[in-house]
Amino acid sequence: MNLSDEQKLVFQFFNEVGIIQQLSSTLFNRLLPKGLHNSHFSVLNHLTRLGDGRTPVEIARAFQVTKPTITNTLSTLVDRGFVRVVPNEKDGRSKLVFLTDAGRAFHLDAISRLVPTMQRLEGQLDFAAMAKVLPELVRIREILDKDRDP
């Protein structure tokens, strides 16, 4: 029982992706203050870029994490005073997440922490290559995403 060459390729691909994810998330986590992680920053970034007033499930879907995970992430952000979570008038089951002023300030501060590392990477990473690869990654992500439920 062996894997075909194509299956080995898939495995190798996911292996590289896993390592890059590990290295990059460790890199970013170290830049954030104690107790705050990539995931918290990402949520603030998402709400800043695309607008707040979204439900937890919408946010969970955007990052492809489970509902308990987003509950946990949001509760940390609430404890830090970076978001407010209020009942949704339109739907009694759900809630809406809003950024606070402190949350917006923290987001700006976090970005300023990231910049020096980004600039260091700029000297080494091949942006043209990354830009070319990105659409392929998006397609692969979409396929995996569609595949996972049935």
Partner DNA sequence: ACTATATGGTTAGATGTATAACTAAATAGA
Partner DNA sequence: TCTATTTAGTTATACATCTAACCATATAGT
**Residue number with CB closer to a second copy (86 or 133):** 133
Q: How many Å apart are CA 78 and CA 6, to the nearest integer?
A: 46
Q: For the chain, what is the largest distance between any 2 Cα atoms, rounded to a whole number of angstroms?
A: 58
User: Which does residue 53 bind out of a second copy, DNA, none, counting CB within 5 to 8 angstroms by kind?
Assistant: none
Least separation in angstroms between residue 29's CB and DNA is: 7
CB of residue 4 vs DNA: minimum separation in angstroms?
A: 26
Q: Which of residues 25-54 bind DNA (CB under 7 A)?
A: 26, 29-30, 35-40
The H or E element spanning position 6 is helix 5-31
C-alpha distances in Å from residue 77, one per residue of 8, 27, 114: 40, 21, 19
Contacting residues toward DNA, per CB under 7 A? 22, 26, 29-30, 35-40, 55-58, 64-74, 76, 85, 88, 91-95
